[in-house]
Amino acid sequence: MTYVINRLCTRQGDCVEVCPVECIVPGPTDDPKWNDLFFIDPDTCIDCGACTPECPVEGAITPEDEVPDEYKSDTARNKAFFTEGPAYWEFDLEKERSTLKGKSK
């Protein structure tokens, strides 16, 4: 199983800093298809849950089998990021973080 970041993500990036296997990647801010979320590689995630308490938005990161129905499409999109999208890429976390601390969606 993996964890999934859903559309409640505010791109704060705290999850990236605590992931022990470095499997959380921001969508590039200059790519409108992927620029709204951070993504968790389902093939690398070790299901440790370290990211969940670091997220400033409750419910934005959940185990895949606990994703609320209204965010189920985010699970498929998360997988697609690593198969069809940019996947792992060199990024500057500070640049990719949202400048809107605490924004709500």
Give residue 98's pLDDT.
79
> Closest by alpha carbon to 27, among 74, 75, 100, 89?
89
**CATH entry, 3-90, from 3.40.50.720, 3.40.50.150, 3.30.70.20, 3.40.190.10:** 3.30.70.20
Averaged over successive runs of 10 residues, the pLDDT of the chain (105 residues) comes to 94 96 96 95 97 96 96 96 96 84 45
**Bridge partner list, 89:** none
Give residue 104's pLDDT.
44
> Closest by alpha carbon to 52, among 103, 89, 2, 105?
2
Which residues have CB under 8 Å from 37's CB, separation 6+?
5, 6, 7, 9, 11, 26, 27, 74, 77, 78
- The residue ranges of every structural domain in the chain are 3-90
Give residue 1's pLDDT.
79
Give residue 99's pLDDT.
57
